[in-house]
């Protein structure tokens, strides 16, 4: 049986993320993916462009068929009526997705849709209830394509927490600092420039960080209280949020996200005429419960070095792209002997030169600091 005779899938949406993320992912999976049969977009031009890109990157004998809103004979409804297309990949604007998810499910298609589920909580909850009541029972699968939830590094952290590597989780902290401006290709997307959905960039991008935190916590989040603010007018309605969270086990913590960092790099110096600085506080807790706090300051030496220098009683060491310090478990006392410390598990990821993420989960187990 040739690939043209096999059931396949369609991509609905032909924007940046369909081109730069989903299509390369499909190409990387190779023969594990069913054949790509069709591309839909509101315009013929964008659908045809993605179809030609798919032909090249997937080495197809012919480009997938093109569907768009400009011709009733090539409409989305015509695509969804095709029996040889059993699943659809939705990469559409936030406010457009819920209605098309419903149409695809009603047509008997499995659905993989982009995050977030809907423009607001009420709409997302209603869509989930509809799926579970009307379509899940029929064997149809709907999955949200939240990539952070499947990243190996987050999955590994979650596994360690579940296995008790840090003891019982009592507190946690997530801090994500992003720089974006009017030159960002994401901001230049028309539906993001004037968002008609709740939260703006915080909803569009913040769901990633919330998903990562939910994966790593051993019990679900049950309540929150938060403040949101706008620091860069172009990102209305909000670009920064600080939230207090609580889980079903009673663990509580802080969730901080901003897309309004003052500069692309967090060095203690001027860059492109804009001041930028980062202050790092390193906490060490010994077995007797006494905290030894040392301050780290970013020297900002070199284009990408950002070496940190520790102060205070405890020795700080570490070299990071943004001048962060990490503790090394050494304490200056009684001949600089190495203390066993109450392990504070700290994990940092430099996603790009413009984005900074810090994740902390505090447990109650005693471990060597170097174990992490």
Query: What angle, 0 to 180 degrees and rounded to 10, lies between the N-to-C axes of helices 97-106 and 121-130?
Result: 0
- Range 174-183 average pLDDT: 87
- 53 pLDDT more than 60: yes
3-state SS, residue 283: strand
Q: For residue range 135-164, list pLDDT tens digits in order.
A: 999 999 999 999 888 899 999 999 999 999
- Range 38-59 average pLDDT: 96
State the CATH class of domain 3-145.
alpha beta
| Whole-number pLDDT of residue 203 | 82
Architecture of domain 147-261: 2-Layer Sandwich (3.30)
- Range 221-237 average pLDDT: 91
pLDDT band at 187 (very low <50, low <70, confident <90, very high): confident
Are the C-beta atoms of residues 269 and 306 closer than 8 Å to each other? no
Are the C-beta atoms of residues 77 and 102 closer than 8 Å to each other? no
Cross-strand partners of 8: 85
Q: Which residue has the higher pLDDT, 280 or 2?
A: 2
Q: For residue range 264-290, list pLDDT tens digits in order.
A: 655 444 445 554 444 444 444 444 555
List the beta strands (DSSP E) in 269-368: 269-271, 274-276, 279-285, 291-298, 308-310, 314-317, 326-331, 341-352, 355-367
- Range 91-99 average pLDDT: 93
Q: Which of 107, 99, 87, 112 is nearest to 21 (CA)?
A: 112
| Domain residue ranges of the chain, discontinuous segments joined by + | 3-145, 147-261
- The region that residue 13 occupies, defined by phi over 0 for left and psi between -120 and 50 for alpha, beta otherwise, is left
Question: 187 CB contacts (<8 Å, ≥6 apart)?
Answer: 180, 181, 193, 234, 235
Phi, psi of 157 (to 5 degrees): -60, -45
Integer Cα distance of 125 and 44 in angstroms: 33
């Amino acid at each position: 049986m040739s690939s043209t005779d096999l059931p396949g899938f369609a991509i609905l949406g032909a924007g940046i993320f369909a081109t730069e993320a989903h299509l390369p992912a499909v190409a990387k999976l190779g023969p594990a993916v069913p054949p790509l049969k069709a591309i839909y977009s509101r315009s013929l031009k964008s659908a045809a462009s993605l179809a030609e890109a798919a032909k090249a990157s997937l080495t197809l004998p012919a480009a997938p068929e093109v569907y768009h809103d400009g011709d009733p004979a090539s409409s989305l409804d015509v695509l969804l009526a095709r029996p040889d297309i059993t699943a659809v990949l939705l990469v559409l604007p936030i406010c457009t997705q819920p209605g098309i998810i419903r149409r695809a499910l009603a047509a008997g298609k499995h659905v993989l849709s982009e995050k977030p589920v809907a423009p607001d909580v009420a709409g997302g909850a209603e869509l989930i209830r509809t799926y579970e009541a009307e379509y899940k029972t029929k064997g149809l699968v709907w999955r949200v394509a939240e990539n952070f939830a499947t990243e190996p590094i987050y999955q590994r952290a979650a596994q360690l927490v579940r296995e008790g590597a840090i003891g019982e989780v009592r507190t946690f902290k997530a801090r994500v600092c992003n720089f974006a401006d009017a030159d960002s290709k994401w901001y230049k997307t028309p539906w993001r420039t004037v968002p008609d959905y709740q939260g703006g960039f915080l909803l569009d991008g913040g769901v990633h960080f919330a998903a990562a935190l939910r994966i790593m916590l051993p019990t679900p989040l049950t309540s929150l209280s938060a403040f949101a603010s706008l620091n860069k007018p172009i990102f209305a309605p909000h670009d920064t949020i600080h939230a207090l969270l609580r889980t079903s086990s009673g663990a509580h913590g802080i969730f901080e996200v901003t897309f309004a960092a003052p500069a692309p790099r967090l060095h203690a110096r001027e860059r492109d005429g804009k001041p930028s600085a980062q202050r790092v506080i390193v906490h060490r807790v010994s077995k007797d419960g006494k905290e030894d706090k040392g301050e780290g300051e970013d020297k900002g030496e070199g284009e990408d070095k950002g070496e940190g220098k520790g102060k205070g009683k405890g020795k700080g060491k570490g070299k990071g792209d943004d001048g962060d310090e990490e503790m090394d478990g050494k304490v200056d006392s009684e001949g600089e002997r190495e203390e066993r410390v109450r392990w504070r598990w700290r994990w940092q990821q430099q996603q790009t030169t413009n984005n900074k993420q810090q994740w902390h989960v505090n447990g109650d187990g005693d471990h060597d600091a170097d174990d992490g």
